[in-house]
Chains A and B, each alone.
Chain A
Amino acid sequence: MLQFLFKRLLTFVPTFIGVTIISFAFIRLLPGDPILLLAGERGVAPERYAELAAQFGFDQPIWRQYLDYLGGIFQGDLGISFTTKRPVLDEFFTLFPATLELSLCAITLAVIIGIPAGVIAAVNRGKFFDQALMTTALTGYSMPIFWWALLLIIVFSSGLGWTPVSGRMSLMYFFDTPTGFMLIDSLLSGQEGAFRSAVAHLILPTVVLATIPLAVIARQTRSAMLEVLGEDYVRTARAKGLSPLRVNGLHALRNAMIPVVTVIGLSVGTLLAGAILTETIFSWPGIGKWMVDSIFRRDYQVVQGGLLLIATIVMAVNLLVDVLYGMINPKIRK
């Protein structure tokens, strides 16, 4: 197991370097000068411009800038935001809990609905539920997220007034956020109604963000189940006179989970990508919105550092999935 982990970590090295290059190049390829953008319509004096450029290293040749960036990474320093003047890493850790909370809620929703739905569809293959589910999944998968979010906002927020339009918490409440997770902090605050407000704010973004992973998980579960249901050991389980719930939900699903776990792991990448859009639509103060804002401001440090951190998280999750995969598949386990 340790050897396996070590090998996997080694394969991360080239990927990691690739990500630093891409994240570094990406933002610089966009036209627009960060200093001019920051100055806005007022403009900036040439002396001040040179001063700022020197302070943030924009006057250096491009390869020098890249090496500085790389050197910083190895010292755990991702630089300082050009607009807020705060360390990129600090900003990241302030905002990340919001994204994590939203992503965790979304993936949980996708899993607890997607897996049973896929199982039921497979068991009733070809029947009405199966066809309805597969059509819905395909719709969900191909729906433009932006349009879907707006539709939900129009119906549930503007129309019915059931949920707030944006943000994480109603302005009525104010409390410390030691964990950064609104669901937990609102409970800790002891303020009446705060938790309810946190939930209400979460619902729509969670649904929007969960839509694609949900569709993917349901479809993958269904096809994995269909394959497994034809296996001899499922027949053995039925030959024991076990209930359909135990046969399908334990004997078959346990085997079908092996490919499904991989898909869940992969959808973490999709999830973080989706978070960028979802957070922007719902003004959710997480790293997705942070990235978008920083791109518009050409905040080089934030964009290159943020992308690197996001990529690292995706890689770490993939590693975790591999470990988990080994754990649920006894043939790999040693």
Chain B
Amino acid sequence: METQVKVDLTSFRLETRKWLEENCPKSMQEPVTDANQLYWGGSNGKFSSKDQEIWFNKMLDKKWIVPYWESKYGGGGLNPKQNNILNQEMSRLGCRKPHINFGISMLGPALLKFASEEQKIYYLNQICKGEIRWVQGYSEPNAGSDLANLQTKAEDKGDHFLVTGSKVWTSYGDKGDFIFCLVRTSTESKHTGISFLLIDMNSEGVSTRPIKLISGKSPFAETFFDSVKVPKKNLVGTLNDGWTIAKYLLTHERQMIGGIGDTDKKKTLSEVAIDSIGVTDKLLSNSSIRSKIANLEMNEKIFELTIQRALDEHKAGNNSGAVSSFFKYYGTELAMQKEELRLEVNGFNSTEWTSEESNNGREARYFNRSKGHSIEGGTHEVQLNIIAKRVLGLPSK
């Protein structure tokens, strides 16, 4: 048995490697250097290059947009070991992800756990084809860290809900086809009056207004709902029990954000520093920056090991104790420290905002954007609260 499985996996690896080599266009094996090199799909989805389109369609035919979901939901039906091999082989070649969508990373896991079979078949199949671009409607003007304070209300009107209110910080809100929303369906209790609703952004009464960020970019929107009719079948899970789904989805969001790593993997920070600062007697010429880089690289390497340990502990059936809040906090903290240090390493060049040489201030804009890491998906402070209470069991009074 054992050996047979091994043989099968080995041949899967070889086949996969061969297929990727034959089908992934060369330019899709280059590191991503700009957000528009990712394909987000949806009804407004535009390919930024011919190769990107070819690559997406190849993976679509292979059912590898979401390789690890069951085939009845449109996935590739790979088991975890096969999926792992596919990931390894893709990173070996440097293949880009063919498609990015909050439907895959956030909504999908929640649907798999809480939706009806009918909903799963309908929505997951769409997600696997990249047809729908999903956005997240959680935060409101008065419901940020205190998310359960949300007020957007959904009234029961027999065959539909009538939704009125507004959401804020909706990432890519103006580009979304559907929004997964937390709405208030009862005012009797704060946490148990919330429901999880899927809303078509083309419905009458939905409008968005872009918000410009300190990075100068505008990937955000405010989303308004003015008496929007939403069919009852768009409710996921039980009425008034949406908070359970909301929290489950957040753990996936945190894992995704915690994994925000380097955007430019071509050079390590120390290599960048050697180019910009130079070396004296084989050592980086500025000893203060040198020790900051060493300290950061130490923590990055050990954080990677900690992710691996958590996975291995999980496989071995142990609870490693490290929760998604910890990974979100620490992963984003390191990513932010790195952006900060990158500015020190690159000196005057790092603050250029519009010049051509600076690729329209790429570096400076990344730095500004990175400040959001400790806010989105629950702030640093909120993650620390969760660790203190849930993991360490510290008292509330």
Q: Do A and B bind each other?
A: no
